[in-house]
């Protein structure tokens, strides 16, 4: 009997979570207008809402808006070739032996940062640099590397 009750409670919890996650987001007109003006050719847009911000996910972009349609922050997946020379130099000088595996450009207000996933033969690092190449965050990723759990 205990197993049946536990099973029913787990099923109810999963069902409630799934319903919440699948709820469509009603995007206010000012947000939609701002988005369409900024990205008129965007396709496959998925909207989410968190902390009173509307997040548009599409192609290689994530853009957060407030309810008035003002852009709060942006994230764009970029190629290594599109990184500023100052950021590339900082990686070469401060992270010798690492290769850039993934790069994102983040813009919040007038501040631009670059979040990089760096890898070498034995480890992976998550590094955030300012546009002028100063390291703002440098963390060793203790999780997985190339799909394998580190020992």
- Mean pLDDT of successive 10-residue stretches along the chain, which has 151 residues: 44 43 84 97 95 96 97 97 96 95 96 97 96 95 56 38
Domains 24-73 and 79-146 share a fold: yes
CA distances from 71 to 33, 64, 65, 130 (A): 12, 6, 5, 20
CATH class belonging to 79-146: alpha beta
| Chain centre to alpha carbon of residue 130 | 17
The pLDDT of residue 7:
42
Q: Where are the domains of the chain?
A: 24-73, 79-146
The pLDDT of residue 20:
52
The CATH number that domain 24-73 falls under is: 3.10.450.360
């Amino acid at each position: 009997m205990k197993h049946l009750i536990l099973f029913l409670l787990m099923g109810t919890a999963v069902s409630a979570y799934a319903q919440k996650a699948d709820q469509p987001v009603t995007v206010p007109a000012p947000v939609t207008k701002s988005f369409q003006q900024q990205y008129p050719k965007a396709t496959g847009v998925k909207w989410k809402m968190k902390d009173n911000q509307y997040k548009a996910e599409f192609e290689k972009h994530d853009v957060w808006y407030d309810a008035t349609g003002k852009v709060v922050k942006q994230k764009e997946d970029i190629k290594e070739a599109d990184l500023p020379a100052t950021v590339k130099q900082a990686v070469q000088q401060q992270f010798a032996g690492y290769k850039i595996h993934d790069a994102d450009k983040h813009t919040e207000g007038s501040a631009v940062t670059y979040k990089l996933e760096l890898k070498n033969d034995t480890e992976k690092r998550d590094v955030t640099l300012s546009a002028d190449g100063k390291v703002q965050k440098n963390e060793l990723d203790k999780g997985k590397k190339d799909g394998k759990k580190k020992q």
